[in-house]
């Protein structure tokens, strides 16, 4: 868990002197969040006890200060504003929902996280699509293998091609045994997905694979052209990675 680590000139939370001469914590706090400046109160920052943000500004925490004496948090400041507005008034963001969701997770603002997860932008990705992919055993590992194979072939070529085999059930798996053995004998690499128990649409799975590889910055597309006999060709797809 990240906390505000002390810098060489770290000081505790600022103290104010009351007319009676007693030193108390100043309720007003100036923040520098990744170069964006905010002014708020300790009460707002500590509104949700148990959150990382509240812990950062607990009385026992040491503060990292910038050269102007503002409390410094090394995160993207652009999306801290919506976090602050939620703590102040309960207002939900209307823009940059995925980015605010990521920051809410970092600061552990659990009520906001739950509300954002009900929004279409987060529900579709974090709930519907993620649950869909959890039904495919080894999905993430196979995706990484596809990328490694494509990169290994990217030597003085414009395009790398990775052959993928998708088998939905045990019957499909059995139908592909001979074809996979033949490809192995020819030293052709194949990444096999499945079998899986849920009723997944193959096209949806292919689109997810394509989307997740593109999200890593690769130019990729898939096609249903297979070098194999017609009786098994329906199980095989080619993913083409373009390098320039």
**In the chain, what are the domain boundaries?**
28-118, 138-242
State how far Cα 17 lies from the chain centre.
Answer: 45
Alpha helices in 57-157 (DSSP H): 80-89, 97-107, 110-117, 120-122, 130-134, 139-152
| Beta-carbon count within 10 A of 122 CB | 17
Under DSSP, the state recorded for 151 is H
What is the DSSP annotation of 35-48?
TEEEEEEHHHHTSS
> In this structure, are residues 139 and 133 in contact, taking their beta carbons and an 8 Å threshold?
yes
For the domain spanning 28-118, the CATH number is 3.30.710.10
pLDDT of residue 124: 80
> In this structure, are residues 240 and 214 in contact, taking their beta carbons and an 8 Å threshold?
no
pLDDT of residue 3: 40
pLDDT of residue 72: 96
| Beta-carbon count within 10 A of 12 CB | 12
Query: CA gyration radius for the chain?
Result: 26
pLDDT by 10-residue block (mean), the chain, 244 residues: 39 44 67 96 95 90 88 95 97 94 96 94 82 92 97 90 94 93 92 88 93 95 82 92 94
Q: Residue with structure tokens 């868990």? A: 1
> In this structure, are residues 100 and 93 in contact, taking their beta carbons and an 8 Å threshold?
yes
pLDDT of residue 155: 84
pLDDT of residue 26: 66
């Amino acid at each position: 868990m990240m906390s505000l680590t002390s810098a060489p000139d770290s000081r505790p939370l600022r103290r104010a002197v009351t007319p009676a001469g007693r030193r108390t914590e100043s309720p007003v706090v100036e923040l520098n969040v990744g170069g964006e400046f905010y002014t708020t109160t300790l009460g707002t920052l500590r509104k949700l006890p148990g959150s990382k943000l509240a812990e950062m500004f607990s009385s026992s925490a040491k503060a990292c200060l910038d050269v102007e004496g503002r409390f410094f948090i090394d995160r993207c400041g652009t999306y801290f504003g919506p976090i602050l507005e939620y703590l102040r008034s309960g207002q939900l963001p209307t823009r940059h929902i995925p980015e605010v969701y990521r920051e809410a997770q970092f600061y552990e603002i659990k009520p906001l996280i739950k509300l954002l997860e009900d929004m279409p932008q987060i529900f579709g990705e974090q709930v519907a699509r993620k649950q869909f992919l959890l039904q495919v055993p080894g999905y993430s590992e196979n995706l990484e293998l596809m990328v490694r194979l494509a990169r290994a072939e990217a030597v003085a070529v414009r395009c790398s091609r990775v052959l993928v085999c998708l088998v939905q059930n045990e019957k499909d798996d059995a139908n592909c045994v001979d074809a996979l053995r033949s490809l192995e004998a020819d030293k052709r690499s194949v990444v096999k997905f499945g079998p899986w128990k849920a009723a997944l649409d193959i096209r949806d799975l292919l689109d997810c694979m394509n989307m997740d590889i593109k999200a890593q910055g690769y130019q990729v597309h898939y096609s249903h052209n297979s070098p194999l006999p017609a009786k098994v060709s329906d199980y095989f797809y080619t993913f083409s990675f373009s390098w320039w």
